[in-house]
Each structure stands twice: as C-alpha cells, then as structure tokens.
Amino acid sequence: MTSLSHKIYTLQVNKGYRMLNITIRYGDINKQRADAIIVNLFAEKKSKLLKIVDNLGLNQNIQRTIDLEDFTGKLYETQLHYAPNSAPFRRILIVGLGYEKDFNIEIARRIAAISIQKLYKIGVRSVASNSFDTLKNGLSSQDLAQAQSEGSRLSLYQFDSHRSKKSNCDIEKLTIIVSDKKNLVDVKRGVMIGKYASEGTILARNLINEPANVITPTALGDFSKELSKNSDSLRCRVLNTRAIEKLGMGALLSVGQGSINPPNFIILDHNSHLKNQPLIFIGKGITFDSGGLSLKSVSGIQTMKCDMAGAGAVIGAMSAISKLKIKQRIIALIPAAENMPDGKSFRPGDVVKTLSGKTIEILSTDAEGRLVLADALTYAKRFNPCAVIDLATLTGACITALGHHAAGLFCSDDLLAHRLIRSGEITHERIWRLPVWAEYREQIEGDIADLKNSGGPPGGASTAAALLQEFADTYPWAHIDIAGTATTKQLNFYTPKGAVGFGVRLLTQFAQEWSANTKESRARNPDDSF
C-alpha cells in the first residue's frame, strides 16, 4: 500500500497541473490577434469602449447595448460580442469594473478570474486583455499586474488527479496589452511575481487535496526533498522517528505513535549561506486527523486530510520564495504526523514531555496540533530567528469567531502583527488579530503537569494560542489559525471547491516586504546547523 501511494503521489502532485502562459506586450488591444479580447470598463466611463473598438464594425451594436442599459458597467457584469471578419480577434468580452473610486487590488484579481473563467467555458484558446496599468486609482502598476496574473491563473485550477477523465485547460495563452510604455517594466515584474505566487498556491492546493493514503508524513518529506533538488536555494533535511526521539520531541512522537505511518520533522532552508537571522515559518503537518482515541464524528472526520493545510501553505510559500530569489534566510519547519486510534495511541490522561522539557497533560487527543507545534516552536530557537510565524488548522473555535472570511492572528509583537495584517490586505488572505492575554494562560494550567492541552470551550482559539506561546518566548512570534480559511465548499472567483492554498501568497508577500525592510543582522548562532 505504501509503495502504491507513493507512486500516485509522485505522478500527480509533482506533475498534476498546467499553468496558463502569460505574455506582456505594448500596443493597442484592438490590433491583437486572439480568439477573444477582454475590455475592462468603469461604470462611469462606458464611452471609452467605443474608442477601443472603433472602425471594427461594432460601434452601432455596442452603442445600442449601452443606450438600452443592457451593459451598465456595474461590478463583475460581463457581456460577450462577436467581432466582424475584418477584426484580428473573434470575440470581445466587456467586463464591468464598478465605480472607479471603489477599485482595488482584490477587484482586479477577481475581474481577471471571472473573465478567464467565462472564456474558458466557451472553449476559447487564446485571449488578450488590456492591462490594469491605466486603472491605478492610487495603486501601483506592479501590484495590479500581479493581481491580474494571480486571478487569471488561479481561476483555472482543477484537481482531477484521481478521475479517469481529465479536464483540459483550453486557454493556452493570455496576452496582457500595456498601453503606457513607461509601465511595461512594472507590469512584467508584477506578472512574474504573480506567476510564482500562483505556482506555490497550486502546489499547496494539490498537496492538501490529495487523500491521506497518498500524502503521508513520509510522502510529505519526500516531496520536500524533491522540491529542494529542483531549487538553487533550498536545502532539505527530514528527521526520522529515531532522530526525533533522540532530540526529545516527545509531543510530536506521542501524536504519531498510533499510526502505521511514522512521524517525521521536515526542515526546508532557503539561503542557508546567509549570515542574517533567519525568518522561520512553521506549518502544522497532520496528514490525517482522526482525533485519535478522542475520535471525531462521522461528519467531522471527512475533511481531515486537510489538517496539513498549514504545512501545504508553508511548502508552497517556500517554493515561491526560492523562485523569487528573496535575499533573506528563511527556514520552514514542518512537524508531520498522522493522528490515529490504535493500541499504541496516546490517551486522555497521559503526560507527554516536550522538547523544551515542559510537560503537557492530555485532556483530548483531538487537540494534537498544538502538541506538534510546541516541539517545532522549541526547535526554532536553535536558529536564533528574527521572527517565527506558524500556520495551522488548529481550532473550530476560530471558525466560530471569524467564520470563513478571515484567519485568526495571535501575536507577541505589534510590528510583526502590523506587517502580517498589511500583507493579508494586499493578498486578500485576510487575518484578524485576537487576544492571547494572561487570563487564557490560566485556563491551560496543568493539574498534574506543567500544562494541559485543552482549556475547555470558552475562548478555545485563544487558549490554544496561549499554549503555543509557552514555547515561543524568546523571539517575536505569530500564530495564524487557518481552520476557517483553508478550504471552501464552492467556487468563489479564483478559489475552487476544496483546498484554497490560503497562506501561500500571504507569506510570500510578507517575506518580500520583510526582506526589503530588514538589514543584515547579527551572525547566526553556531548551533543553527541541522
């Protein structure tokens, strides 16, 4: 079973998607050869449409459409027209941008997505679109181009690795037409960043969507090794069960001891040669969470292959970061395990000793994510990091608090929180800061050990964060609870049903800005090698 799973995993996750090819050109869109062109218009500037399609025999038809208010330019409104034989393109898709004062980066991303999706459905193969570079509204050409690149590419994602009939991306090429030559360099840069961020997001989606018999802790480690082999900047090391035991990672070991698939600890290191303090990302890698002996309900267990969404996001972000050649040492730590019921499983009432030496009393084996993260947060200390950020599908309580529209942020440093929130606003992977006050620490005070792994229902997201904070006391730390944002049940612009890949673009954006704003720091600790 293991070898078969690994074979499927190698074939599908490594080679299971095809990216939309995007090129950038300076010129007029009405001269572009394509199966279809996309023209984006603000509601108050519909007249510009006539200038764009002038002398193509479409004026009368489109003017009639505007006069009858069949097209008003309202946000996300679309209308398809067919071009005469004299035109170099066959179709024109008009897309409403709403009112100019409301235009922002996320709207640009969504507009790109719905435009491409509509043309994909009718079998279009080549598309040209006017760039957003002249629609700035106070926004940079680079950021808008990145949004256009991301929305176009991510909207076409489909996960069909295990279907006998595969779907095809009929759209082979998108040409973005830049009308102002001075914006050409910025647009090219933005499209390139969007490409790598999209690739990382798709990588994460694939990893998370794969079933648990494919993505085991071992398979996740093997994929990370393969990723590093294909990168100039990434190094990878995977610590096996024996190495984990030797280190004293009792919390990680306890979670994984009930499964036939052994736990491991994955280390991905970008720019290991740099002497500055590293930035560290930690991703919860529970490849399947049954709840252990505190078994989940039938409905609750069905999506638990996605409990490694934090790990998937971190791996996807590291892929994007390496391709962008970000000049900062960045390390990803992934505690990977499968939480299963068995005669060897850890039990409610057990006490486990963490890597830090602190002990934790187990009240629920279903509160396992905070246990594996505790050992990872402690391990991070050996690198003398400038900041540590962990991502985890950690608590249902966070979903109760924020729904599916934002992830919960718990942070020990105001500047770090500010930078993360800003990156989340740019990428629309939004996060909302929640408290982790001393009072929440009191709820997890242990009865027979230093701590207990559950503080009960009240403030469940904050008490879980309070436990993590116990192991992140020597560096600026942020915990992002993505339980409500990691997956979705329906297509929403550029996020498909299933895994979203939430966190990849957030971390990539954050890493770019952190690198740009951080000077060379003190030499790394001599104990920071693996």
Evaluate whether 363 touches 348 at the Cβ level (below 8 Å). Answer: yes
Burial of 303 (0-12, 13-18, 19+ CB in 10 A): middle
DSSP for 205-250 reads: HHHHHS-TTTS-HHHHHHHHHHHHHT-SSEEEEEE-HHHHHHHT-H
Catalytic option among 370, 381, 505, 524:
370
- Taking the C-alpha atoms of residue 525 and residue 88, their distance in angstroms, rounded to an integer, is 62
Distance of CA 420 to the CA centre of its chain: 14
Cα(113)–Cα(346) distance, integer angstroms: 46
Neighbour-count burial of 76, counting CB atoms closer than 10 A to its CB (0-12 exposed, 13-18 middle, 19+ buried):
middle
Is residue 370 flagged as an active site residue?
A: yes
Choose, from 189, 235, 237, 296, the residue flagged as catalytic: 296
- d(Cα 341, Cα 294) in Å, to the nearest integer? 8
Q: 């919390």: which residue's tokens? A: 251
Q: Is 218 exposed, middle or buried (0-12, 13-18, 19+ CB in 10 A)?
A: buried
Among candidate residues 515, 332, 503, 513, the one with its CA nearest the CA of residue 431: 503
Residues 381, 475: Cα–Cα separation, whole Å: 8
- For residues 506 and 498, give the distance between their C-alpha atoms in angstroms, rounded to a whole number: 19
End-to-end CA distance of the chain: 32
For residue 379, which of 426, 431, 333 has the smallest C-alpha distance? 333
Do 268 and 278 touch, CB atoms closer than 8 A? no
Q: Are 317 and 480 in contact (CB under 8 A)?
A: no
CA distance 241 to 247: 10
CB 266 within 8 A of CB 314: no
Rounded-to-integer distance, Cα 232 and Cα 485, Å: 32
Report how far apart, in Å, the C-alpha atoms of 439 and of each of 276, 306, 359, 467 are.
36, 31, 20, 12
Q: Answer yes or no: are the C-beta atoms of 490 and 404 closer than 8 Å.
A: no
Q: Give the residue numbers annotated as catalytic, written as ranges.
A: 296, 370
